Chains A and B, each alone.
Chain A
Amino acid sequence: MIAEEKLKILTESARYDVSCSSSGSGRKNEGGIGNGMPDGCCHSFTPDGRCVSLLKLLMSNDCIFDCKYCMSRRSHDVPRATATPEEICSLTVDFYKRNYIEGLFLSSAVHVSPDATMELLVRTVKLLRTKYRFHGYVHLKGIPNADPLLVSEGAKYADRMSYNLELPSERSLKLLAPQKSKESLLSPMLRLCRERALFQAEKRKGFFLPAGQTTQMIVGASPERDGCILRLTESLYRTAGLKRVYYSSYAPVVEDALLPSVPSPALREHRLYQADWLLRFYGFDVEELVDEGEDLPLDIDPKCAWALRNMHLFPVEVNRAPLEMLLRVPGIGARSAQKILSARRYTALTFDHLKKMRVVLKRARHFITANGQFCGEEHAPALRCLLAAGDAAEAADAPEQLSLFAAGEHTPVQLPLFAQDAARSARTGEL
C-alpha cells in the first residue's frame, strides 16, 4: 500500500490538471476487472465543485524542467516523491474495486529525463493491463521530447493521451516554459492523431487511444486574448482531431517576476468554456463569436452577445424555427430545443405550454415568439442590462468544467453537422 504522505504529494501536484473525463472507451472486461463506460462516470464531487472520476496522480513530482508557473519546477522548494509502478497499480485496482474511481489518470513531472519518465509511465500502464488485468479507463500524459516509439507504445495501452499546450503561443512558452516548445507539444499530438487514423483505417486488432486526445491551456498567465485562444482551439479540433480542449485559470502558486501576481478570474475561464461549447455543438464559427485581438465579454455569455449583435434575426417563432436556429436562441439549450421539437408536432405551442414543459424563459423570452405572441424587451440597451443582471447571479457559481449532469444550456445536442458520433457527444460533451 502506498504511503499516505506520498499519495498526498503526488495528488496535490496533479490537481491543476483540469481534465477528469472518463468517456470514450468501450473496453470490455476480459477475465479481469473493469470495463469502459462510453459516457464516462463521475464518482464524487469535491468542495471546489469539480468531479472526481479518475485517480489523478503524478508518477513523480521531481522535475528537471523549470516552468515558471509550476509547483513542481526544479527551482521550487517542495517535498518530492516518486511512486513505483506496483504502488500505482495496486492503488488503482483497489480503489476501482470499491467503486471510488473509474480509472487512472497518470501524469508525471520530467523525472531524470523525458525518455526515462515516459518509459516509467508506459511500464506502469502495461503492468496494469497485463499483470493486474485491469480494463478500466486509463488516461496517460505524454512527456514532451520523449522518444516517439515509447509514446506510441503507451497509446496501445491507454484509452486517452494528452499533451498540455499550457500556453497559447510560442513566445509565451519561450518565456515561461523555456524547456518546452510548441513543436515539442504539437508534433507528438499530430503524430498520434495520424497513427490513430491509420490504426482505425486498417482495422487492426487491439487498441490505440480509443478515447482520443485532449489538451489544456492556462488562461491569464500570458497576454493572449480569448480570440487568439479560441482560434487555436478551433484549429486543434479541426486539424489534430482533439476530443476536448480544457482551460485552466491561472492561479499564482509560485512567485516569479514574469508571472502576474493575481489569479485570472474564474469567470473568464467560464466564458471560454461556453464559447468552446458553442463551437463544438451549436454550429458556431469562431469568427462569429470574437475577433482575434479581443476578449469575450464578461458581463454576458457569448451566445447572448452574439444574439445582441444579430437582433435582425430575432425574434424566432418557436413553432417553426429549425433546430439550428432554436439552438442559437439565448437560454435555449439542447434539452429545451429537443422538447420543443417533440411537443410542437402535436400542438401549436404557447408561452404557457413552454412554462409547463419547464423551458427556462428568463433569457429566451426576449428572442422568441410563441404562437405569434412576444413578451420580451425590444429596446436593445435595456435588454443588454437585463441579460447582464440575470447572468451576474448565475456566473457567481460558474462551473469550470461542464459535467455530464450540467443541465439545460450546457447539454449539447445532436446536430446534423456531426451526424455519426452525435448521440455519444450529446451525452459526454466530447467530439
Chain B
Amino acid sequence: MIYFFDGSKEAFLTAFLLAYRDGEALLTAGEKQLSIGQKSVFVRADPAMAAKCERRLLELDKRCMDDLSFLLRSGEGMRGQTAFLYLRLIAQRGRPVRGELAEDAVSEATECIRRIKLEAHRLKGFVRFLECASGALYAPVSPVNDVCDLLLPHFRGRLGHIPFVLHDVPRGKAAVWDGAHAFLAPLQHAEIVLSSDEAGWQALWRRYYNAVTLPSRARLKQMKGYMPVRYWKFLPEDPAAAIGDLPAADASANAGGASANAECAAGRALHAPSDAPSDAPSDTLPVKGRAPSPQAARDALPPPHGSPRPPAAPAHP
C-alpha cells in the first residue's frame, strides 16, 4: 500500500502508525506513479495519533524527532520512505540505531541528513542579497531541501538591525527578519525596488570575481563540485559567463550548466541584459507595498557585461 501524506510531521506520524505493520508500505509526500493493482491511501493528520506516536518513539530514542525534522525537509522523492524505514527500525529494535551504518535504513537516513545540513551550510555562502531602496535586503533562493528557516539565525546574527527576506522561490515561502522579529510567511511573488547603488555594487563584484580568477588554471570540475551549478542562478558574479571568458577548449565541456538562470523573475532580473524585454513585470521583487512595475524590474538590472544574450540561452552553445 502507498501512503500519501502532506509532508507535515503530524501527517507523517499518523501515516507511520497506519503503515507500521504493512510489509509493503511506501510513504511518500511527493508524486508517485501507481502501477496496476497498487493500492493507495491519502493520510490526513490525526493530532491524537501523531502525539501518541511521537511520545512512543521519543521513549525509544530521545533524539529521533530531531532526525525526523531534518528528514522531512528533504527535497528528494523518497523523503517519507527514508524517514519511515529509519523510525521503523528504531521501533523494531526498541532503541536508538544511530551509527549502525551497516543497516541500509540507517545509512540512507544518515546520508540524507548529511546532505540537508551540507546544503544549509553551503547556502550560508551562496545566498546573495539585493539591497532595496528601503535599505532592507532581499535574497531569492532555490534550495533542493526546505532549509530557508535554518538560515535565519545565521543572517540575523551578522546583519543585526538590517531587515531581510530569504525567499524560497519554488516553495513560495519566505523567512523574514524585520529588524526585531523573525518569522516565516507564505510568499509567491515578490516585487522590489532596488537601491540606486545596487547595480553599481553588483558590477564591482563581478569585476572583482573576474579579476581574482587565475586565467592560466581552469579547474571547472572542481569549481562545480564545490559550487554545484544549481546554485548559480542568483549569483550576480555570473560564473557561467566567467567560464565563457576562458579558452574555448575548457568552456566547451561545461556549457551544460550555463543556462541556469531565468527560472523565476529574480533570476531574470539578475542576469538579463538591460535591453531585454521585461516579460514578467508582475512577479519581480518587493519589499513593502510598492506597485509592481516593469521599471522596478529594469532597475534591478545590472549593466550588461559582455554581449547581451537572451536570459535562458546557454552562454556557450
Interface residues, chain A, with chain B CB atoms under 8 Å away = 1-2, 4, 7-8, 11-12, 14-16, 29, 31-35, 37, 41-53, 55-56, 91, 94-95, 97-100, 102, 136, 251, 263, 266, 339, 342-343, 345-347, 349, 353, 356-358, 397, 399-400, 403, 405
Contact = CB atoms under 8 A, between A and B. Distances in A.
B102 A2 contact: no
B77 interface: no
A91 B213 CA distance: 19
Nearest to B200: A1
A258 B101 CA distance: 57
A431 to B, nearest CB: 22
B130 interface: yes
Nearest to A403: B226
B214 A50 contact: yes
Contact residues of A: prevailing secondary structure? loop
Contact of B242 (A1, A4, A46): A46
Contact of B158 (A11, A29, A397): A29
Interface residues of B, number: 58
A47 B218 contact: yes
Given A29-B157, A48-B214, A98-B130, 10 more contacts: A1-B197, A1-B201, A11-B207, A42-B125, A44-B237, A48-B213, A94-B197, A97-B162, A100-B237, A266-B217
Contacts of A97: 129, 131, 137, 159, 162
B219 A47 contact: yes
B131 A349 contact: no
Contacts of A95: 201, 204-205, 208
B127 A99 contact: yes
Contacts of B214: 15-16, 46, 48, 50
A2 to B, nearest CB: 7
Contact of A99 (B102, B139, B212, B221): B139
A56 B212 contact: yes
22 contacts: A1-B200, A14-B212, A31-B160, A32-B160, A33-B158, A42-B226, A44-B126, A44-B239, A47-B220, A48-B214, A48-B218, A48-B223, A94-B201, A97-B159, A98-B205, A100-B205, A100-B237, A102-B125, A343-B100, A346-B99, A356-B102, A403-B226
Given A15-B211, A356-B104, A47 B125 contact: no
Contacts of B200: 1
B223 A46 contact: yes
Given A43-B125, A56-B212, A48 B205 contact: no
Q: Which of B125, B126, B139, B239 has the most CB of A within 10 A?
A: B125
Contact of A1 (B204, B208, B235): B204
Chain A to chain B: the 5 pairs with minimum beta-carbon distance, closest first: A49-B219, A49-B222, A11-B211, A343-B101, A46-B213
B129 A343 contact: no
Contacts of B221: 49, 397
Interface string B180-212: 000000000000000001001101110111011
Contacts of A44: 125-126, 209, 227, 235, 237, 239
Contacts of A50: 213-214
B128 interface: yes
A252 to B, nearest CB: 10
A114 B237 CA distance: 35
Given A15-B212, A100-B205, A403-B226, A357 B158 contact: no
Interface string B103-118: 0100100010000001
